[in-house]
Structure 1
Amino acid sequence: MRICSIITSFTSGGAEMLVCNLAEAFAGAGHQPAVLSLSHAAQVGNAPDTEAAMMARVRAGGATALSLGLANRNNLPGGALALRRALRTIRPDVIHAHSARALLPLALAMPGVPVVLTHHNSRLSFPPSAFALFNCIVDGYVAISDQCETLLRGHARKPIRMILNAAGARFRTGQPRAAAGRDPTILAVGTVSAQKDYPTLLRAARPLVDALAARGRSARIRIAGAGPEFGRLAVQAAGEPVELLGARSDVDALMRQADLFVNCSLWEGFPIAMIEAAMSGLPIVATAVAGNREMVSPGVNGQLVPPSDPAALALAMADVLGDDARYAALSQGALRVARRFSIENCAAAHLDLYRELIEARRLRFAPPPVARPVSPCE
């Protein structure tokens, strides 16, 4: 099967990581995947180095990686023409858009194969009225969480398939952690944007450091990610005990070095980085918002706190790091929870959906059977 997955650009965001992980899994299963970005990373404010590393990784995994280099997202005719040329080369059996931005160019390109859309968030980034057009283009939708499914059901008029997100096997560890380090490292991973609300983590950093200092311990808080708010966050972080790492291609190594994973988002779809953390055996402290609530069970694999509450965030982090027995139990729980999110199961579920949509389209457009002439002797 030839599978074309479309993203906005090659960046370290959760949706993009999932697409690249799936491409590797599809290729490993004998299919011919291609990952196509609408724009170069630099054209949309993302890191070119990360783009180059991700494209190289996709190609090394046996898939095609290419970018249309669209600088003007409002140039629909130009975008459709560039997309149509790329699709003629890829000759896909199915197209999976992981960005709603791809749908209008796809409508003009008229690919003639099933189209799938995954919206990777519990909030819409476009007017709900856009679904009137999407429903004419899309053959099926994928929901990545209960909240995303609820959102789609309010607007989608095509079948919706729930497929949980997954993380790459390189994050998988076989053993739980017995205890946090004496001077622990706290890690947050994700695009630096308003959604992630990193200023709350900055405000929680000092109370956490003070709480650990009272026990003779120190802490290092690290944020891995780039994005539109990075410059502003760097100014806010000046003088705070927080290290801004920027975009990183070695998040798996950062997870292995960390003692605790934190997510302080105001809203989520289903964060890939949180699955990666669980696969790494990291206890998780996260805000009690959609997506996070489906991943974190308090007392099982982490703690949930109210959003935009730095005091509650600092207290929860200090509590997890301060009790070795509880920490070990949460690490074991993280590994148990992570088993639900294997990339193998995720890829198999996508392949099943693609086969069903390809067959449904074949039957819908199959020519009617030709009536056999009846002999007078019959």
Structure 2
Amino acid sequence: MRILHVVESLEVGGLERVVIDLVLQQQKDGHECMVVCLFHKGTLAAELEEQETPVACCDKKPGLDISVIRYLSKTIDSFSSDVVHSHNITSNYYCVLALMTHRGRRLVNTRHGIGRLPGKMKRLFGISLYRTNWVVGVCDQATTMLQELYPRWREKMRTITNGIVLDKHPLRTEANHQQLLRTLNLPEDSLIVSIVARLNPVKNHAMLIEAMAHIVKELPQAHLAIIGDGPTRQVLRNQAKQLSLEDKVLFLGDRRDVPELLAGMDVFVLPSLQEGHSISLLEACAAGLPIVATNVGGNAEIVNEGVNGLLTESGDVQDLTDKLLLLLKNKALREEYGRNSRSWAEKEGSVKTMAALYQDLYTHDA
């Protein structure tokens, strides 16, 4: 089967990581794949190009860009696409327009987020569903939201949760922990809370930094490692400085060695205001880490309260503080939750499972 994936870009992010891992798994399964980026290729495109997977770029201009429709239409034809798989909203309605002269090609869309859609985007996406064969939500809550927004097309909607390449993720061990402490030049008794997320307001790093100000008063050996970059970096640095946490909050930036870093952490935290099916939570599970996450979006489909982690309400700094302290103070509980995290990932979080479910969807009618 020849599968054409269409994304906005392949910059560093959860959606983009899912697309790359899915493409590489589909190629292992014997399919031929190509990726088209609407705006620009992005940093992660090199991973596909190193595997000789073609990645093209439309260089989309602001507003409706007719040249993108023409480019996609020609690419669909020249690649002899059996399936066009669009990712998120903008990609889908451009694919629908490009497919107007390619009636035999199937179109599958994945809605990776869970946030509410602006009015114009909501209408355009609804129109695009006339030509879309299947619409996928990456968690049950996302699918339910789509069904409520577009009840006419609810029979076209399915949930396929994200998966990752488990083999890339070493387990958290004490040896890995000590190695990370040496790398970060931290004392041997340090405990590290970690987060992997783009630095933007929706990820709510600010609440986490506020919680750390309380945590270090009880546990001076606690540190926070922030992995990722984004527009709120300087604001967050200023917040850490104002709270006298310069030596407690480590800004590690975008990293290509996230699996190795996670294998040395103690607790993973995700205080987001909203989420779909978080790739960073999947990575934390694969590393065998205990988790504290806000009960939003698909987080509760990954974090099983009292089994592999703890859930907290969005915006509740005190509860977040208390639950992080509970895990940081209890090594046996951390280890129990960590084992359960890895066990869950092996059953539910594999890219092989995700690819198999998409393959089934590509070949069936709604």
Range into which the TM-score falls when normalised by the shorter chain: 0.7 to 0.9
Contact 2:177 2:263 in 1 (8 A): no
| 1:364 corresponds to | none
Find out whether 1:106 has 2:95 as its counterpart: yes
* Residue type of the alignment partner of 1:228: P
Contact 2:92 2:125 in 1 (8 A): no
Deviates more, 1:305-314 or 1:291-300: 305-314
* Residue type of the alignment partner of 1:283: P
Find out whether 1:347 has 2:355 as its counterpart: yes
Find out whether 1:356 has 2:364 as its counterpart: yes
TM-score relative to the length of structure 1: 0.84
Contact 1:321 1:327 in 2 (8 A): yes
| 1:12 corresponds to | 12
Q: Return the match for 2:123 from 116, 129, 136.
A: 129
**Structure 2 CA distance for aligned equivalents of residues 298 and 19 of structure 1:** 29
Over 3 Å counting, the alpha-carbon distance change for 1:349 and 1:208 in structure 2 is: same
Contact 2:172 2:265 in 1 (8 A): no
What are the superposed Cα offsets for residues 77-124 of structure 1, whole Å, 9 maximum, x if unpaired? 122123223333433111111121112322332243111111112223
**Structure 2 CA distance for aligned equivalents of residues 279 and 73 of structure 1:** 39
What SS does structure 2 have at the residue aligned with 1:332? helix
Over 3 Å counting, the alpha-carbon distance change for 1:123 and 1:102 in structure 2 is: same
* Residue type of the alignment partner of 1:210: K
Find out whether 1:66 has 2:41 as its counterpart: no
| 1:55 corresponds to | 45
**Structure 1 CA distance for aligned equivalents of residues 316 and 222 of structure 2:** 20
What SS does structure 2 have at the residue aligned with 1:188? strand
**Structure 2 CA distance for aligned equivalents of residues 177 and 295 of structure 1:** 24
What SS does structure 2 have at the residue aligned with 1:273? helix
**Structure 1 CA distance for aligned equivalents of residues 199 and 110 of structure 2:** 22
**Structure 2 CA distance for aligned equivalents of residues 119 and 254 of structure 1:** 29
| 1:82 corresponds to | 71
> Structure 1 residue 179: deviation in Å?
12
TM-score relative to the length of structure 2: 0.87
Which runs of 5 or more structure 1 residues have no equivalent in the other structure? Answer: 42-50, 361-378
Contact 2:72 2:95 in 1 (8 A): yes
What SS does structure 1 have at the residue aligned with 2:235? helix
Find out whether 1:221 has 2:229 as its counterpart: no
| 2:85 corresponds to | 96
**Structure 2 CA distance for aligned equivalents of residues 318 and 179 of structure 1:** 22
| 1:169 corresponds to | 166
Contact 2:169 2:259 in 1 (8 A): no
Alignment of 1:1-378 (within 5 A): 1-40=1-40, 51-52=42-43, 54-70=44-60, 72-110=61-99, 111-112=102-103, 113-127=105-119, 128-156=122-150, 157=153, 159-173=156-170, 182-213=189-220, 218-238=221-241, 239-240=244-245, 241-339=248-346, 340-357=348-365
**Structure 2 CA distance for aligned equivalents of residues 294 and 176 of structure 1:** 26
What SS does structure 2 have at the residue aligned with 1:154? helix
Report sequence identity in percent.
28
**Structure 1 CA distance for aligned equivalents of residues 222 and 28 of structure 2:** 41
> Structure 1 residue 176: deviation in Å?
7.3
What SS does structure 2 have at the residue aligned with 1:69? coil
* Residue type of the alignment partner of 1:167: I
What SS does structure 1 have at the residue aligned with 2:219? helix
Deviates more, 1:304-313 or 1:262-271: 304-313
What are the superposed Cα offsets for residues 1-50 of structure 1, whole Å, 9 maximum, x if unpaired? 11111111112211111110001100111111112211126xxxxxxxxx
**Structure 1 CA distance for aligned equivalents of residues 216 and 145 of structure 2:** 39
* Residue type of the alignment partner of 2:75: A
**Structure 1 CA distance for aligned equivalents of residues 193 and 236 of structure 2:** 17
- Aligned Cα root-mean-square deviation (Å): 2.3
Contact 2:136 2:159 in 1 (8 A): yes
**Structure 1 CA distance for aligned equivalents of residues 205 and 352 of structure 2:** 32
> Structure 1 residue 178: deviation in Å?
11
Which runs of 5 or more structure 2 residues have no equivalent in the other structure? Answer: 179-188
What are the superposed Cα offsets for residues 235-264 of structure 1, whole Å, 9 maximum, x if unpaired? 333343322222222211221121111100
Deviates more, 1:75-84 or 1:271-280: 75-84
What SS does structure 2 have at the residue aligned with 1:257? coil
| 2:183 corresponds to | none
> Structure 1 residue 198: deviation in Å?
1.0
> Structure 1 residue 292: deviation in Å?
1.0
**Structure 2 CA distance for aligned equivalents of residues 103 and 317 of structure 1:** 40
